[in-house]
């Protein structure tokens, strides 16, 4: 199958397949849209079963960044990169130096940062060979705490609309992927707000420590997190977790979390709606990190501006909920439609300029 025929291609502007035999680098750098400015989005290091899965992930994540950035009204486009994790032992420094060289080849059309499996330290290594990285120490730094704050505010909005709750005190929340950079920061905020938490993660020791710190309940069976009788399910791990195998196991009224691409396929949004479950579109609720990173691109995007943008994100989420309810349509369908329209308008303006 040609890349152009890939179901997730969605008219990506550019896709770079990069390899480096010496370091073991096999990376895909996907630029979805530069209609509003240079594409910006993180780099993910993950173990993929095959290159086809890596490509699918890169394309979906890249498109998601375009939608995220345009819904947050940021003057940037959307892109993403994935690195297929080498088998066995590998030289991490050499790997990210090679990634930096690949990134430099795009001449600023795409700027990268950390994502799942990648640290700010890895990005600092890549910076040895490229000018096009953000989210660095000495700049805005790790965007995870700001992502968590935005997701927390989005959960507050979702609880208001989906549960009729003005406070998270006593609200039962099941968090998947609780010990990651975003997940752990979010869990601490939720605990501070008085939520009753149920946590799962692959990192058992870290999970137990976080649960002890926050008074949460550990869900040891990873698959059992879907069946927790809670008010809100908060996915903070990988994507595609709302799918035909999991959707009927959910016993919640709201799905609102930090993970990207939570819906395996778009029709899962309609299936959630049929079951009376409110869905907070991931690329709206989790945009705090990219908002924080804007300070590395232009100095006027300072801490005060970031705080204002987070408030705007919450308002945008409530507006999307209202529109979906008024039109009787799935929330993700309404949000995708808005994002696509904004991108098309931006592309027309760019072409006319």
Question: Which CATH code fits 3-64+79-129?
Answer: 3.40.50.10860
How far apart are alpha carbons 285 and 258 in whole angstroms?
A: 7
**Model pLDDT, residue 158:** 98
Tell me the two tokens of residue 274: 């049929």
Residue 6 burial by Cβ neighbours in a 10 Å radius (0-12, 13-18, 19+): middle
Q: Right CATH number for 144-341 from 1.10.579.10, 2.30.30.60, 3.30.450.20, 3.40.50.720?
A: 3.40.50.720
Stretch 2-9: mean pLDDT: 92
Say if residue 141's pLDDT is above 80: no
**Model pLDDT, residue 75:** 95
Structural domain boundaries of the chain? 3-64+79-129, 144-341
Stretch 219-228: mean pLDDT: 96
Stretch 202-209: mean pLDDT: 96
161 compared with 140, residue with greater pLDDT: 161
The string of pLDDT tens digits covering residues 243-292 is: 999 999 999 999 999 999 999 999 999 999 999 999 999 999 999 999 99
Please state the pTM of the whole predicted model.
0.91
The catalytic residue among 68, 80, 127, 309 is: 80
Say if residue 1's pLDDT is above 80: no
Q: What is the dihedral of CA 137, 138, 140, 143, to 10 degrees?
A: 10
Stretch 14-38: mean pLDDT: 97
How far apart are alpha carbons 43 and 33 in whole angstroms?
A: 16
Decide: 19 and 101 in contact? Cβ < 8 Å.
no
Confidence band, pLDDT 50/70/90 cuts, at residue 297:
confident
Residue 208 designated active-site: no
Domain pair 3-64+79-129 / 144-341, same fold: yes
State residue 290 phi and psi, 5-degree precision. -70, -30
Task: For residue 91, give the DSSP letter.
Answer: -
Decide: 12 and 62 in contact? Cβ < 8 Å.
yes
The string of pLDDT tens digits covering residues 52-73 is: 999 999 999 999 999 999 999 9
Q: What is the CA radius of gyration of the chain?
A: 19
Looking at the chain, the whole-number percentage of residues with pLDDT higher than 90 is 90
């Amino acid at each position: 199958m040609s890349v152009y025929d890939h179901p997730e291609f969605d008219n990506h502007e550019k896709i770079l397949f990069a390899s480096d035999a010496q370091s073991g680098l096999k990376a895909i750098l996907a630029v979805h849209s530069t209609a509003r400015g240079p594409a910006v989005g993180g780099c993910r290091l993950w173990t993929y079963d095959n290159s086809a899965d890596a490509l699918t992930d890169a394309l979906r994540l890249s498109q998601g960044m375009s939608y995220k950035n345009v819904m947050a009204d940021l003057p940037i486009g959307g892109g993403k990169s994935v690195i297929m994790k080498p088998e066995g032992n590998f030289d991490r420094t050499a790997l990210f130096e090679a990634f930096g060289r690949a990134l430099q080849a795009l001449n600023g059309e795409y700027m990268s940062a950390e994502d799942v499996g990648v640290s700010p330290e890895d990005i600092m290594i890549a910076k040895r060979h490229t000018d096009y990285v953000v989210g660095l120490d000495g700049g805005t730094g790790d965007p995870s705490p700001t992502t968590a704050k935005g997701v927390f505010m989005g959960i507050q909005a979702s609880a208001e609309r989906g549960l009729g709750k003005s406070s998270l005190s006593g609200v039962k929340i099941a968090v998947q992927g609780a010990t990651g950079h975003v997940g752990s920061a979010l869990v601490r905020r939720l605990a501070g707000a008085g939520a009753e938490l149920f946590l799962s993660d692959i990192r058992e020791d870290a999970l137990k420590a976080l649960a002890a710190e926050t008074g949460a309940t550990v869900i040891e069976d990873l698959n059992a997190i879907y069946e927790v009788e809670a008010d809100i399910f908060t996915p903070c791990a990988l994507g595609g977790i709302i799918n035909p195998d999991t959707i009927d196991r959910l016993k919640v009224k709201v799905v609102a979390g930090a993970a990207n691409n939570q819906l395996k396929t778009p029709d899962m949004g309609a299936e959630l709606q049929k079951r009376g479950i409110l869905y907070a579109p991931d690329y709206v609720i989790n945009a705090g990190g990219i908002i924080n990173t804007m300070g590395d691109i232009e100095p006027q995007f300072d801490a005060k501006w970031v705080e204002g943008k987070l408030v705007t994100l919450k308002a945008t989420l409530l507006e999307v909920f209202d529109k979906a309810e008024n039109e009787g349509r799935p929330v993700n369908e309404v949000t995708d439609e808005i994002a696509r329209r904004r991108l098309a308008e931006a592309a027309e303006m760019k072409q006319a300029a």
